[in-house]
Each structure stands twice: as C-alpha cells, then as structure tokens.
Amino acid sequence: MLKDAIVIGTGFGGMTAAALLAKAGYDVLTLEAANELGGCGSKFDRAGYRFSAGATVGMGFEEGGMLKRLFEELDAPIPPMSKLNEIMNVYLPDRTVTYFSDKERWYKEVASKFEQDQERILSFFEEVFKVSNVLQNFVEKRAIFPPSTASEYFHLLKSMDVKLLGLAPYLTQSVQDRLSKYGLTKNKPFLTFINGQLMDSVQTTATFSPSLLGYMALSIFHNGAFYVEGGLASIIHALSEVYRASGGELRLRHKVVSIAKQGDVWTVMTKRGQVFRTKQVIMNAPIHNVFSLLEPELHRNLPIKEPKEKEKDAWGAFTLYIGAEPSFMMPETSSIPFHQFISSYDSPLSEGNQFLFSMSQEGDTRFAPTGKRSITISTHTNVGKWWERESYESRKEEYMETIIDSIDKRFSSFSSHIDVKMAGTPVTFKRYTQRAYGKVGGYIPSGKYSLLKSYSPNSGVEGLWFCGDTVFPGAGSLGSSLSGWMVADAIKGKHPRQGM
Ligand SMILES: Cc1cc2nc3c(=O)[nH]c(=O)nc-3n(C[C@H](O)[C@H](O)[C@H](O)COP(=O)(O)OP(=O)(O)OC[C@H]3O[C@@H](n4cnc5c(N)ncnc54)[C@H](O)[C@@H]3O)c2cc1C
C-alpha cells in the first residue's frame, strides 16, 4: 500500500513531524531501528532505575513556548513537569553560579558572582535578551532556511519584520566579537561561564559561535527550563500517543537500510527485507547518515557531499548513568536537578573537564525507587579515538574516574553513595541511536558565518525531507522538534489532504 509519508526515526524531529501529519489525517508509517522511542532523547531501564540516555533539560513549555504550542496544536495533554526557578548550579573552579530563571534574580546573581565587571555584564545580558526576543518571533514562524523554492522564499520574506532586519549587523559577528565590544574577553571566569553554557547548547565556544545562535542559547533558560517527570522521553511518548490515536502506524526494531525512488514513489527497505512505498520520506537520522541509505544516483542533489561528510565536525558524548542515594548533597542542593561542573579554566571544555550532571527529583518514582535518584552525566568528547579498539576499555575507565573524582571533590561522599554505574560512549550512541560515528548534538558551528551555512529541512530531492539536530534551526530537543514541524508544514502545504 502506498503511504502518504514514511518517517525514519522517532527522535524529537521525527516524532513531531509524524504526530502533526497523522493528526492532519495523513496515512503515516514510522520506522524506528531501536527498541525504544526517542533517540538521544530516549531512556532505558536497568537495575531498578530508569536513565535518560542523553537529553535531560526540558525547554519550550512556557506560555507561548514552541513545544507548548505543539501540544496545543495536537490537542494533547502535556506530560507532568515543573518550571524551575533555580535551574542549574554551575561549579567553576573558584565560585558557584546559580542559574535563576527570573531575570531580576539572575542579574543580581551575575552581579555578585562576577563583581569586577558587573555593569558591563549586565549590559551584555540586556542586549542578549533584546536580540533573542526579536529572533524568537522569527523562528516561531517556522520559515524553511535556507530557502530553495519560490514558496520557501515567499514564506521567509513574510516572516521577516523591520526589527529582524535591524539584526543584520549581528549576522557577521561571533559571540566573542560582541563580548569584546563590552570589554569582557579578559574576564576568564565570566568567559568560561559563557563558554560552558554555549558548549551545552551551540556545541562550541564564543569564538566560533555565531552571535545570533549564541544569544538564543544564552537567553533560553530565562524563557523557561523544565524538569520533566520521567525525563524528556515522556515528551516523546506523549507525542507517540497522539500519533497512534490519530491512526499513525509505528514499528520499533525496524531499521531502514535503503531508500530508493522510482518515478515519484519512494521505496523504503528495512533490514528484515520488508519494503514499504510512499510519496514522502522524512529522514530523522542525521544528514551524515544519508549516504549509506539513499541510492547513489540521488546523492548529487544533496547539500553535503560524501567525502566531506566524514570530516563534518560534531561532538560525541561520553555518558555516565548512575543510581545513587542522594544524601551526598544537602537537600537544598539536591532539589536543583542540573549541575554543570567545570574543573579547570585552562583546559578545553570537553573530555571530562566540563560535564552536565542531571539528577532525578525526589518522589519521581518513574526514575528511581523511593529514596534513590537516577543520574545522567554527559561530557563532550572527540569521536575518533573511541573507535580504537585496543584503548576502548581503558579509556572508558579513565573518563569514568576523572568525572567521579571531580564530583567527589565537590561532594566528598559521592562515590560511596553509588548503587549502580554504567558508561556510554560514541560507540554506544552509534549502536542505540544509529548516529554515524556516534556524532551527536548537531554540527559544530565553524565561525561567525556558519548560521548562513545551515542545512535546509528540504533535502533538494523531491519528496525527501530531513528533520533533527543536523538541519536548521539546529541542536537540542527544541530545534529538532521545530525542524519536524517545518517539514510537516511543508508537506501539508504542497500535498494537502483531499477535503482539507
Ligand atoms: C548527551 C546528550 C545530552 C543532551 N542534552 C540535551 C538537553 O539537556 N536538552 C536538549 O534539549 N537537548 C539535549 N541534547 C540534544 C538532543 O538530545 C538532540 O539534539 C535531539 O534529541 C536530537 O533529536 P533528533 O530529532 O535529531 O533525533 P535523534 O535523537 O538522532 O533520533 C533519531 C532516531 O532515528 C532512529 N534511526 C536512525 N536511523 C535509522 C534507520 N536507518 N532506521 C530506523 N530508525 C533510524 C534512531 O534510532 C533514533 O531513535 C543532548 C544530546 C546528547 C547526546
């Protein structure tokens, strides 16, 4: 039977597109290689605990927020979650900065923790908030970027307003350029703090982060950050429920191994040899996976070329999954779910020198038995070395030790409270999320102009669409979901259901 659309993958991008199309009456089939939904936003159960596989910080559910609007559009209940006032403690080598959602408290916090440059820092953040407000309005209109068809150009132009045009000078500047305008590049603790935040969102530091992308990232917590009960996988599961209730078909453990086109019909083949036919293919695997799936004759129309694909920079993740009894922290600290550790001002913010520690909250029994907590820790890592077999196990031990030592330095009895611990590497991510080479989190911006070099959700091959963190508008659950929404919009616009 000919499907209206086949979605490959159930990450934030794929599940968003699938749910929107099914809700609008399209006949959709979603194929997922893994046994679990959600890719980098998924979960797994071990030894009486549930662990978030990767993503932990919920965003976009504030009034008017992107995911809140998505659930409204789908007329679906939002999973239980709480908006955080104290979002994160950031442990720098000589001070702790608490990330408050409320702007006034945040201004007071930065002024007291970076006293030396407080006036300049406050002015910098005022600019960050002003610029990102304008950008937010634009992004919400879901124009496909970069545009390639007349209708995409038209939608893009329609989404722009005078205020957005006023941001043109920022297009040619990095965050570092802006910090330099405020005389803040010599303040090492502040710069490290900013770089730590940018690494977790934009995947690079101020020097290479386009200012507009960086400003969105630096303001996002102040729109709202959320603790989602049971982890971000609860959001994916809620989307899958709407999808199924709307008639969408979902098959787990169905890995797609090839995509080919005859006339205007696509055939999608799975590892088990099943063949499905459709008019539209939505690929939620990263763009760098496409070469191993798509028939070679169609490669020439793609935005990236195969030899370049291997070099395209993206981080891997080294993760630790720990089940623990939480009394190593004071109750007021353990009620903050997110903790960023930065051990040294002089080392790169990766490979264990910087990591995010996310802990389930008291009473969230989806995650851990009463009195225990589930912890997911992640640090950025260079993927290449994890594919060297000889050093794999010793490297894993070494990373585990480095991270646990850092936590022990801050919370002295941490290791003695551990019940269960497991590590994940780029090899693990490749195995469970299919991401080629274990590259996660979207591509690393290469400098101030990299926003202009984003990849479009429109693949350039008629009927093939991309969504997820390797295409515009970029990384994280929010960006991935938004790209899925753009794809659903585009398909609905081009191929309306009869009678709709
Ligand atoms: C360690 C870590 C921490 C993170 N922390 C956060 C955070 O706190 N907050 C946040 O918002 N974001 C975070 N992110 C980023 C966020 O998780 C990702 O950007 C987002 O989840 C990616 O979604 P995606 O749509 O690109 O799909 P992916 O997550 O890549 O999922 C794609 C899915 O497609 C499936 N698939 C791929 N190929 C095939 C195939 N051939 N056949 C069938 N199925 C296939 C995969 O199995 C997978 O389930 C984090 C990422 C990592 C790795």
Both structure tokens of 442: 């979207």
pLDDT band at 498 (very low <50, low <70, confident <90, very high): low
In angstroms, the CA 422 to CA 428 distance is 11
Question: CA-CA distances (angstroms) from residue 290 to 89, 256, 285, 299?
Answer: 39, 11, 8, 9
Give the residue range(s) of CATH 3.50.50.60 domains in the chain. Answer: 2-41+232-311+449-494
Rounded Cα distance, 445 and 274, in Å: 38
Matching residue, tokens 């794929």? 14
pLDDT tier at 129, thresholds 50, 70, 90: very high
Question: Phi, psi at residue 227, to the nearest 5°?
Answer: -95, 115
Q: Confidence class of residue 431 from pLDDT cuts 50, 70 and 90?
A: very high
Compute the distance between CA of residue 392 and CA of residue 252 in angstroms, rounded to an integer: 30
Distance between Cα 256 and ligand 1 center (Å)? 16
Residue that has been written with the tokens 């990849």 in this structure? 455
Q: Whose CA is nearest to atom 5 of ligand 1?
A: 55
Helices 476-494, 12-23: crossing angle, 10 deg rounding: 30
1-35 tens-digit pLDDT: 899 999 999 999 999 999 999 999 999 999 999 99
**pLDDT tier for residue 251 given thresholds of 50, 70 and 90:** very high
Residue 496 is classified by DSSP as P
**Summary count for the chain: helices (H), strands (E):** 16, 19
Which of 79-93, 129-143, 442-456, 468-482 tops mean pLDDT? 79-93
477, 478, 485, best to mutate for ligand 1 pocket (most atoms within 8 Å of CB): 477
Contact of 421 with 322, CB cutoff 8 Å: yes
13 Cβ closer than 6 Å to some ligand 1 atom: yes
435 lines ligand 1 (CB under 6 A): yes
- Between CA 465 and CA 462 the distance in angstroms is 8
Q: Which three-class secondary structure state does DSSP give residue 148?
A: coil
Sequence-separated (6 or more) residues with CB below 8 Å from residue 408: 414, 415
Q: What are phi and psi of 495, to 5 degrees?
A: -130, 70
pLDDT digits (tens, 9 = 90+) for 330-351: 999 999 999 999 999 999 999 9
- Please report how the helices 66-74 and 476-494 are oriented relative to each other, as an axis angle in degrees rounded to 10: 40
What is the average pLDDT score of the chain? 95
Q: Ligand 1: does its nearest atom lie under 6 Å from the Cβ of 487? A: no
Average pLDDT over residues 479-483: 96
CA of 340 to the centre of ligand 1 (A): 21
CA distances from 69 to 60, 139, 161, 218, 487 (A): 9, 13, 22, 22, 16
CA distance 351 to 108: 32
Return the minimum-mean-pLDDT range out of 56-60, 156-160, 392-396, 405-409.
156-160
Please give the CATH number for the structural domain made up of 2-41+232-311+449-494. Answer: 3.50.50.60
CA distance 64 to 121: 28
Pocket test for ligand 1, best of 6, 15, 276, 284 (most atoms within 8 A of CB): 284
Cα end-to-end distance, the chain, whole Å: 22
Q: What percent of the chain has pLDDT over 90?
A: 90
The pLDDT score that the predictor gives to residue 272 is: 95
The answer, yes or no, to whether residue 398 has pLDDT greater than 80, is yes
The residue whose CA is least distant from atom 12 of ligand 1 is 476
Tell me how far apart the alpha carbons of residues 83 and 79 are, in angstroms, rounded to a whole number: 12
Alpha helices in 92-161 (DSSP H): 103-113, 118-139, 150-159
- Kindly tell me if the per-residue pLDDT of 451 is higher than 70: yes
- The count of other CB atoms within 10 Å of the CB of residue 404 is 18
For residue 463 and ligand 1, the question of a CB distance below 6 A is answered with no
Judge contact between 262 and 103, C-beta under 8 A.
Answer: no
Amino acid 25 reads G
**Residue 447: its pLDDT value, please?**
87
Distance of CA 242 to the CA centre of its chain: 22
Neighbours of 146 (CB within 10 A): 16
Distance CA 487, CA 13 (A): 9
Counting every residue written for the chain, the total comes to 500
Rounded to whole angstroms, how far apart are CA atoms 286 and 430? 11
The strand pair at 225-228 and 81-83 is best described as: antiparallel
Residue 499 has pLDDT above 60, yes or no: no
**DSSP state, residue 305:** -
- pLDDT recorded at residue 467: 98
Query: DSSP class of residue 381?
Result: E
Can you tell me the distance from the alpha carbon of 101 to that of 85, in angstroms, rounded to the nearest whole number? 5
Compute the distance from residue 433 Cα to the ligand 1 centre, in Å. 7
What is the pLDDT, as a whole number, of residue 439? 95
Ligand 1 atom with the smallest distance to the CA of 358 is 8
Least confident of 43-52, 378-387, 406-415, 471-480: 471-480
- Quick one: pLDDT band at residue 301, thresholds 50, 70, 90? confident
**Per-residue pLDDT for 315 more than 60?**
yes
- For residue 453, the model assigns a pLDDT of 86
Q: Check residue 309 and give its pLDDT.
A: 67
